[in-house]
Amino acid sequence: MTRQTSVPAVPMDAKIAQLDSLCARARIMPVITIAHEDHILPLADALAAGGLQVLEITLRSPHGLTAIRRLRELRPELCVGAGTVLDQASWEAAEAAGAQFIVTPGSTAALLESALHSPIPLLPGVSSASDIMLGYALGYRRFKLFPAEVSGGVAALKALGGPFGGVRFCPTGGISPDNLVRYMDQPNVMCVGGTWMFDSQWIKAGDWARIEQASREALQLLAP
């Protein structure tokens, strides 16, 4: 059901501050698609033990909403958001599950406008200057650059920094240990999203210690 109120539930400045805070805490945001329900807690625990405590749980699998609900209930110290939110129905399902932030792979006028009236901050996906302007007109200043490498990577971020001086990004898609530092060195990057810390084979094997170590090593790349 589309919200009808014309008054934003939370001022945009406050939502921007929320996104800045969670991205500063995250630095690297795991983008997680849960293949099996019994992976939810051990995977989150391994990532958190390695220092990654802000998690984007995608809605690409039927276990996504279950994971958000379970982590919000059993791991309240974590910050848990919903990713791959594509429409109003999935937004409302993620909100009901307890998502603390929402990430979309792209932007539509309907979702951008509707999100203004939710208390949950939105990190909308963009891949071009036109996408940014669609959100910028509504007050958005924080975006997910996706897919980052395909959309121009670091060179694109440098170019976008000119006309969009007050905008900051969470690049996701193609981020790896090889280019992580180059992305994080950009002044308009607040954090990055990635998956390399939890290889699917490690998850299948229940090698949670390896995931913890990979998470720790990822953050060590960003150590001053």
Residue 189: DSSP 8-state = B
**pLDDT mean across residues, the chain:** 95
- 3-class secondary structure, 81: strand
Overall average pLDDT of the 76-80 stretch: 98
Strands 142-145 and 125-126: parallel
Annotate 195-221 with b (16+ C-beta within 10 A) or e (fewer).
Answer: eebbeeebbeeebbebbbebbeebeee
**Whole-angstrom distance, CA of residue 75 vs CA of residue 70:** 8
Looking at the domain 12-218, which fold is it? TIM Barrel (3.20.20)
Instruction: Count the neighbouring beta carbons within 10 Å of the beta carbon of residue 181.
Output: 10
What pLDDT does 9 receive? 73
- Per-residue pLDDT tens over the stretch 113-163: 999 999 999 999 999 999 999 999 999 999 999 999 999 999 999 999 999
**Whole-angstrom distance, CA of residue 29 vs CA of residue 43:** 14
The residues annotated as belonging to the active site are 56, 144
